[in-house]
Amino acid sequence: MKNIELSKALDYIDRIHEIVLQKYDTQPKALVRTFGCQQNVSDSEYIKGMLEKMGYVLTEEVDKADFILYNTCAVREHAEDRAFGNIGALKAYKEKNPDLIIAMCGCMVSQPAAAEKIKNSYPYVSLAFGTNMLERFPEMLYKFMRNRKRVIDISGAAAAGDIVEGLPRHRDSSLKAWLPIMYGCNNFCTYCVVPLVRGRERSRDYKSVVAEAEELVASGAKDITLLGQNVNSYGKGNSDGVYFPELLRMINDIKGDFRIRFMTSHPKDCSDELLKAMSECSKVARHLHLPFQSGSDRILKAMNRHYTSSDYLTLVEKARSLMPDISLTSDIIVGFPGEEYEDFLKTVDIIKKVRFSMLFTFIYSKRNNTPAAKMEDKISEAEKGRWFDELLHEQEIISDEIMSGFIGKELRVLCEGVKPKTNLLYGRAGNNMSVTFSGGEECTSKFVNVKITDFNHTVLKGEPIN
Ligand code: SAH
Ligand code: SF4
């Protein structure tokens, strides 16, 4: 079944290639723009890979493109507004070049109301498809090219979807790679649209994941991020008994000097085995992104998160006792329906107790068809904004203290390149901190030991050692 899907996709890619060769004198250009999380970035790499095989060359210049695709996000309202704003701006390009093909995909498109809006209000969008149906993109594009009839299909969105292995992929970076290990989410946090747009949780076969990791390392990747909405429940639907800690160990056993990262972890599934595996695997980065969302047990319950603030603090303690140098980061939602100032203060209390090196803070955004959308929300946006600022202020103090604590210390940094304006090298340490340092371009793509001498906001500065 899955192999049939793959060969069908490859067959349509070939057919499009023929059309492209006949239609264009020079290689046509395709622009793929990605919004939202790393899962989308990873999906876009497949789309780009397929486009290249169809005969397109990738471009970043919107006015030169013959094909434009926006891969959208739906996690907050702002992301949706931006997607519609951006796609609205393409109308002028379509008027100038009627042959331009405009496509949309991703989480926003996967919501029936948004698909309907595209259908009715954005007639120049020729192709729209949901998540979990990347392998059907070539077929849809082919049909549009042949019949010139718009194709709007989001049938994959809520469905479990098969995992089709082997689709072509264009890697944005040969140094830092995204490696999806699972798709979808079964957690149904009450505020979140992801389970509605990405469907049920399913894990890739561990053999495919390990084989892909081996290929990545062989082709020079030095920083591999395992992706999933809740990587800690990897393998639950598979029958081979390989869960996330085992998978980490298998990838850690691959020969070579590289780093393994993963995201995102849900605290309810962050097991002792996982922390133990992390601490015993030398290639696993000493960084854990563990979103706690709220410090109030009442709000955590309303969010359907299945842990308490004290469970969370216990996890942090366990992680730190096994890996004293681990850096922790988190996601937080301010202003969930029913949240009072006292609840908010409990969130601030957690950030003071844990001392995260970085926080991703969001003001609650109402998402259609989620349970939280029906909950009473009495606090004004202005008030939520004040709480938000208060939280940011507390975190700034903590971040500054953490950053200054690095001065004099040594970090192993993967050098990603040279910053054009300052001529400084930049990269990330294992703990995910950004570091700039002096040195020659030949350091690019290499691990460099750097002694930290200073910092500026969230970026550490240093000097290479030898
Ligand atoms: N699966 C991951 C990430 C999901 S989305 C996880 O569970 O950690 C990334 C972050 O966006 C979430 O952690 C949450 O903090 C935030 N988020 C999700 N839905 C939101 C909403 N409706 N309003 C505000 N923030 C939201
Ligand atoms: Fe959304 Fe919760 Fe699933 Fe994360 S775990 S994607 S926040 S439902």
452 pLDDT tier (thresholds 50, 70, 90): very high
Atom of ligand 1 nearest to the CA of 230: 1
Give the residue, out of 194, 266, 362, with the most ligand 2 atoms within 8 A of its beta carbon, to mutate for a pocket test. 194
Ligand that lies nearest to the alpha carbon of residue 292, given by its number in the listed order: 1
pLDDT at 5 over 70: yes
Q: Is 127 in the pocket of ligand 1 (CB under 6 A)?
A: no
Q: Is 79 in the pocket of ligand 1 (CB under 6 A)?
A: no
156 pLDDT tier (thresholds 50, 70, 90): confident
Ligand that lies nearest to the alpha carbon of residue 195, given by its number in the listed order: 2
Produce one character per residue of 55-69: b if its CB has 16 or more CB atoms within 10 Å, e if not. Answer: bbebbeeeeebbbbb
> How many angstroms does the Cα of residue 193 sit away from the middle of ligand 1?
9
- Mean pLDDT for the stretch of residues 179-202: 95
Which residue has the CA at smallest separation from atom 18 of ligand 1? 192
pLDDT at 158 over 80: no
> What is the pLDDT at residue 157?
72
> What is the pLDDT at residue 385?
97
1 pLDDT tier (thresholds 50, 70, 90): low
> What is the pLDDT at residue 421?
86
> How many angstroms does the Cα of residue 192 sit away from the middle of ligand 1?
6
2 pLDDT tier (thresholds 50, 70, 90): low
pLDDT digits (tens, 9 = 90+) for 396-446: 999 999 999 999 999 999 999 999 888 899 999 999 999 999 999 999 999
| φ, ψ (nearest 5 deg) of residue 90 | -80, -15
pTM for this model (two decimals): 0.95
| Nearest alpha carbon to residue 180 among 104, 142, 221, 231 | 231
The mean pLDDT of the chain is 95
pLDDT digits (tens, 9 = 90+) for 330-354: 999 999 999 999 999 999 999 999 9
Q: Is 264 in the pocket of ligand 1 (CB under 6 A)?
A: yes
> What is the pLDDT at residue 3?
82
